[in-house]
Amino acid sequence: MSAQRLGGGEPAPLPPGAWLGVLGGGQLGRMFCQAAQAMGYRVAVLDPDGSCPAGRVADEHIRAAYDDADGLDHLARRCAAVTTEFENVPADSLRRLAQTRIATPSGDAVAVAQDRLAEKSYIQSAGVPVAAHAAIRSAADVDACPDALFPGVLKTARLGYDGKGQVRVASREEARRAFDALRGVPCILEALQPLDYEISVVVARDLRGRAVSYPPSRNVHRDGILALSVVDGSVPSDVADQARGHALSLADHLDYHGVLCVEFFVLRDGRVVANEMAPRPHNSGHYTQDGCLVSQFEQQARVMAGLPLGGTDPLRPAAMLNLLGDLWFDAQGRRREPDWAGVLAVPGTRLHLYAKSEARRARKMGHVNILGADAAQLRERIAQVSAVLGLPDA
């Protein structure tokens, strides 16, 4: 079906029963399907994996590679609007779909997020501060770096996530060795920051350019993977205002349509510095499923369908605790099932599992959302759930 258009050329709202499409069958696609279906939409997922989490709940699963022309054309025939659930989908696939369908986000916006060097440039051009950095494309670039970039972090320019493709380097010599270990692919060297804590902001921007933002979540990472996100009012209002303003500015600068997450460092002097962005819903926004009237996934569907954006105020203090595959193994490496009854015995908890076929260490298997009447009660409940699962205190 094709999208109807209003007089000004803007797509008319898609009625319930229309088809929405998503490239990617992971857990973010699964939660998008569930949110869109709750609003009465049908969803088609394109993913090559026959047992992918989103494919199990979608109304149609198109088994094809993300750049398969026939699969993409099938998706376009079926759906009036399409999105993606991960940033490494081929940007040209979204560009192809956008020739005949609403595509949120655009292939151009996704292409920016796929390259850390392009991403840093775009963030800066939006007037948003970033850490001092330099492009590293050869050993000579390492030698030419200013001393102020050490100690720093050397990151591959493409395809790095959850701490992968990143090496901390204390000196120029360590940077040379790290660049060799990363096989000499294009990299970016960023100066380490005097970090106080990390936050992220999820933004939704519609087809007319109207945008809303959620309050910043305060994030804790372990081994480069997000472990805990908390929204309890502990981020000072001036810091929250800076971060939300920066995220909205970046979305406007990109002429972004869809859901965007921007991660920030909060420095010891109170400055807010952008780290990176994700052109999709984000782990740190999972708390919105239970902690806000409208979740980040429903916002994604609303943008695609041309519907008004929803409210973003928290209903009460909330947190998201990430569940990795390590929890499915005891200290001796034997497989076990985590104590879900114990988790759900803690008041204010909701369990979200992704229906992945196999638990593996460091694999994202689900999350627990936790609500409290106030920040103190929320922290107490986070500690209780962590104790049940054998996780370290946040």
The predicted-structure confidence for 158-188, as pLDDT tens digits, reads as follows: 976 666 789 999 999 999 999 999 999 999 9
pLDDT above 70 as % of the chain:
96
Give per-residue pLDDT as tens, 36-82. Answer: 999 999 999 999 999 999 999 999 999 999 999 999 999 999 999 99
Domains 19-103 and 132-191 share a fold: no
152 assigned to a ligand binding site: no
221 assigned to a ligand binding site: yes
49 assigned to a ligand binding site: no
Q: Which CATH class is domain 195-389?
A: alpha beta
155 assigned to a ligand binding site: yes
164 assigned to a ligand binding site: yes
Q: Which band of pLDDT confidence, cut at 50, 70 and 90, is reported for residue 269?
A: very high
364 assigned to a ligand binding site: no
Q: Which band of pLDDT confidence, cut at 50, 70 and 90, is reported for residue 385?
A: very high
Residue 5 has pLDDT above 60, yes or no: no
Residue type, 200: S
Mean pLDDT of 335-339: 97
219 assigned to a ligand binding site: no
For residue 245, the tally of other CB atoms under 10 A from its CB is 15
Range in 59-73, 153-167, 193-207, 350-364 with the lowest mean pLDDT: 153-167
Residue type, 290: D
Residue 300 has pLDDT above 90, yes or no: yes
In the predicted model, what is the mean pLDDT of the chain?
95
Contact criterion met (CB below 8 Å) for 371 and 348:
yes
CA distance 84 to 111: 12
CATH tag, 132-191: 3.30.1490.20
Q: Which band of pLDDT confidence, cut at 50, 70 and 90, is reported for residue 224?
A: confident
Q: Which CATH class is domain 19-103?
A: alpha beta
166 assigned to a ligand binding site: yes
Residue 9 has pLDDT above 60, yes or no: no
Give me the long-range contacts of 180-184 (CB less than 8 A, separation at least 24). Answer: 180/139, 182/154, 182/156, 184/138, 184/139
88 assigned to a ligand binding site: no
Token pair of 369 as six digits: 């959302």
Question: What is the pTM assigned to this prediction?
Answer: 0.94
Of 257, 375, 241, the closest CA to residue 318 belongs to 375
Give per-residue pLDDT as tens, 271-292. Answer: 999 999 999 999 999 999 999 9
348 assigned to a ligand binding site: no
276 assigned to a ligand binding site: yes
| Phi, psi dihedral angles at 375 (to 5 degrees) | -60, -40
Sequence ranges of the domains in the chain: 19-103, 132-191, 195-389
